[in-house]
């Protein structure tokens, strides 16, 4: 295939690009930064900003499939920044696809598009769950708005488009989520929120990349996939704090022993949000109300629709992924 991957230099994007290159696809990467290693491996690099419609449209030329992976992630920051990248950027990708006759679009969304504001235990939800009236953070809201635009294009037959919602992507190459957890644990600043028995979905990075390839193929062979969203995970939720302590133990880092209640964490988060907003601080607070709910509540989903429609089955199980992650973390810390 002739493919465009937005955000191809990021964690998931890079895993997807590597899989595409290995199977012989012609890959163009759209990114803000410079990634000479991807160019050496055979990818074409186009540097630009998703908010620039002309540059995005040019990147869509002569492409059969677009994987729109790029996004502004996080639980804190100016609302306008999230809107610019996640909403306007997606609108520009859709316009570029339609202008240049791109056949298929796979959009990388997030399960947080169905998370309501406040603490709600999510246990086994499927894609029938609606968008909430109020979101817990700007990231979730803007991803939901962008996803709806993609799905509407797929339903209206303007473009064969589908959305994937991988939850908590992890594995070797992660520069943010897991390294931050380990760093805070080493500093003694990681505190359990809630009882510690909450269960969550994880998605190993190779499993998430596989799901994108399957979605692109399904859009080619099954017209019913267009206009639909799919939850993606490793298929077996884990007990979050047990999983974190297992990882820390394997890395010879003391496990998390201190704990606070959800109510206390949410109160602290609300105060920190107010202070950061008043002082217009751009860095992310150590605690927010949204983060408190995520660290203490259940959030796992059914992947039966992805299994049925896409043929998705997680290839890497948790134990295999954990061993690969620990090996990578040890190598990177030693180098």
Cβ-proximal residues to 279 (8 Å cutoff; 6+ apart), any chain: none
From the list 107, 139, 204, 312, the catalytic residue is 139
Report the alpha-carbon distance of residue 18 to residue 213 in Å, rounded. Answer: 12
Give per-residue burial for 204-231: e unless 16+ CB within 10 Å, then b.
bbbbbbbbbbbbbbbbeeeeebbbbbbb
Report the alpha-carbon distance of residue 190 to residue 256 in Å, rounded. Answer: 7
| Selection from 85, 95, 13 nearest residue 49 by Cα | 85
33 burial level (CB within 10 Å; 0-12, 13-18, 19+): exposed
How big is the chain by its Cα radius of gyration, in Å?
Answer: 20
| Selection from 197, 175, 203, 174 nearest residue 111 by Cα | 203
- Annotated catalytic, 262? no
Residue 154: HSE in the Cβ half-sphere, 13 Å Cα cutoff? 25
Look at the block and give the residue holding tokens 């047990």: 242
What torsion do the CA atoms of 258, 249, 11, 183 make, to the nearest 10 degrees? 50
Could you give the residue numbers annotated as active site? Answer: 139
């Amino acid at each position: 295939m002739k493919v465009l991957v937005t955000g191809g230099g990021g964690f998931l994007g890079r895993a997807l690009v590597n899989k595409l290159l290995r199977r012989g696809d012609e890959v163009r990467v759209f990114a803000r930064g410079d990634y000479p290693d991807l160019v050496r491996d055979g990818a074409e690099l186009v540097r630009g900003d998703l908010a620039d419609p002309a540059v995005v449209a040019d990147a869509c030329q002569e492409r059969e499939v677009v994987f729109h992976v790029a996004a502004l992630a996080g639980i804190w920051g100016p609302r306008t920044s999230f809107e610019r990248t996640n909403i306007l950027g997606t609108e520009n990708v859709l316009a570029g696809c339609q202008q240049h006759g791109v056949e298929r679009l796979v959009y990388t969304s997030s399960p947080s598009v169905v998370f309501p504001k406040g603490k709600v235990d999510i246990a086994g939800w499927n894609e029938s769950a609606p968008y909430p009236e109020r979101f817990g953070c700007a990231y979730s809201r803007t991803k939901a708005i962008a996803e709806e635009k993609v799905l509407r294009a797929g339903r209206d037959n303007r473009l064969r488009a589908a959305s994937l919602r991988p939850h908590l992507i992890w594995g070797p190459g992660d520069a943010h989520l897991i390294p931050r957890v380990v760093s805070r644990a080493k500093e003694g600043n990681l505190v359990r929120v809630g009882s510690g028995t909450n269960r969550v979905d994880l998605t190993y990075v190779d499993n998430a990349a596989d799901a994108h390839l399957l979605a692109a193929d399904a859009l080619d062979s099954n017209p019913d996939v267009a206009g639909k969203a799919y939850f993606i995970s490793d298929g077996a939720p884990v007990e979050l704090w047990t999983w974190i302590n297992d990882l820390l133990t394997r890395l010879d880092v003391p496990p998390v022993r201190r704990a606070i209640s959800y109510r206390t964490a949410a109160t602290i988060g609300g105060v920190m949000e107010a202070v950061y907003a008043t002082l217009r601080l751009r860095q992310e607070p150590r605690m927010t109300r949204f983060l408190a709910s995520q660290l203490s509540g259940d959030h796992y989903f059914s992947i039966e629709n992805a299994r049925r429609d896409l043929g998705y089955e997680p290839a890497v199980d948790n134990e295999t992924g954990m061993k690969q992650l620990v090996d990578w973390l040890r190598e990177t810390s030693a180098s």
